[in-house]
Structure 1
Amino acid sequence: MSLKLSILYRGPLSSCNYDCHYCPFAKRHETAAELKTDRLALERLVDWVKGRHEDSLSLFFTPWGEALTRRWYQSAICELTHLPQIEKVAAQTNLSYDLQWIENANVSRLALWCTFHPSQTTRSRFLSQSRRLTELGVAHSVGAVGLPDDLPEIERLRAELPDNIYLWVNAAKSSGVDYCGELLDRFTAIDPLFQLNTQYHASLGRSCRCGSSVISVDGAGDIYRCHFIKQPLGNIYEPGFADTLVDRPCSNQTCGCHIGYVHMDELQLYPVFGSGVLERIPAEFELRPAK
Structure 2
Amino acid sequence: MKILYRGPLSSCNYACHYCPFAKAKESRESLKRDQQALLRFIDWVRGQTVEPIGILFTPWGEALIRRWYQKAIIDLSLMAHVKKVAIQTNLSCRLDWLERCDKSKVALWTTFHPSQVNRVRFLGQCQALDQQGIAYSVGMVCLKEHFNDIALLRRELRPEVYLWINAYQTDYYTQTERDYFKSIDPLFNAIPHQSKGRRCQTGETVVTIDGDGDVRRCHFVKELIGNIYSGDMTLKPRLCPNQICDCHIGYVHLNDLGLDEVFGEGILERQLKMTN
TM over 0.5: yes
Given the alignment, which residue of 174, 178, 181 partners 1:180?
Answer: 174
Q: Name the % identity.
A: 51
TM-score (norm 1): 0.93
Corresponding position of 1:238: 230
Corresponding position of 1:265: 255
Q: Is residue 104 from structure 1 mapped to residue 96 from structure 2 by the alignment?
A: no
C-alpha deviation, 1:220, in angstroms: 0.2
Segments of structure 1 that go 5 or more residues without pairing to the other structure are 287-291
Corresponding position of 1:121: 117
The answer (yes or no) to whether the contact 1:53–1:85 under 8 Å persists in 2 is yes
- Secondary structure, aligned partner of 1:233: strand
- Secondary structure, aligned partner of 1:45: helix
Corresponding position of 2:59: 63
Whole-angstrom CA distance in 2 between matches of 1:85 and 1:7: 13
Q: Is residue 193 from structure 1 mapped to residue 183 from structure 2 by the alignment?
A: no
Whole-angstrom CA distance in 2 between matches of 1:191 and 1:12: 32
Deviations 1:119-166 (A, max 9, x none): 000110010000111111110000000111100011101111110011
Bigger mean CA offset, 181-190 vs 51-60 = 181-190
Whole-angstrom CA distance in 2 between matches of 1:140 and 1:34: 29
Whole-angstrom CA distance in 2 between matches of 1:15 and 1:177: 29
- Secondary structure, aligned partner of 2:200: coil
Corresponding position of 2:200: 208
C-alpha deviation, 1:182, in angstroms: 2.5
- After superposition, residues 159-174 of structure 1 pair within 5 angstroms as 159-173=155-169
Whole-angstrom CA distance in 2 between matches of 1:208 and 1:44: 28
Q: Is residue 142 from structure 1 mapped to residue 138 from structure 2 by the alignment?
A: yes
Whole-angstrom CA distance in 1 between matches of 2:149 and 2:19: 20
CA-atom RMSD in angstroms = 0.9
Whole-angstrom CA distance in 1 between matches of 2:155 and 2:176: 18
- Secondary structure, aligned partner of 2:264: helix
* AA of the residue aligned to 2:223: Q
Q: Is residue 133 from structure 1 mapped to residue 103 from structure 2 by the alignment?
A: no
Whole-angstrom CA distance in 1 between matches of 2:194 and 2:60: 25
Runs of 4+ with >4 A deviation: none
The answer (yes or no) to whether the contact 1:148–1:183 under 8 Å persists in 2 is no
Corresponding position of 2:79: 83
* AA of the residue aligned to 2:183: A
Q: Is residue 51 from structure 1 mapped to residue 47 from structure 2 by the alignment?
A: yes
The answer (yes or no) to whether the contact 1:112–1:140 under 8 Å persists in 2 is yes
C-alpha deviation, 1:177, in angstroms: 4.3
- Secondary structure, aligned partner of 1:193: coil
- Secondary structure, aligned partner of 1:234: strand
Segments of structure 2 that go 5 or more residues without pairing to the other structure are none
C-alpha deviation, 1:51, in angstroms: 1.1
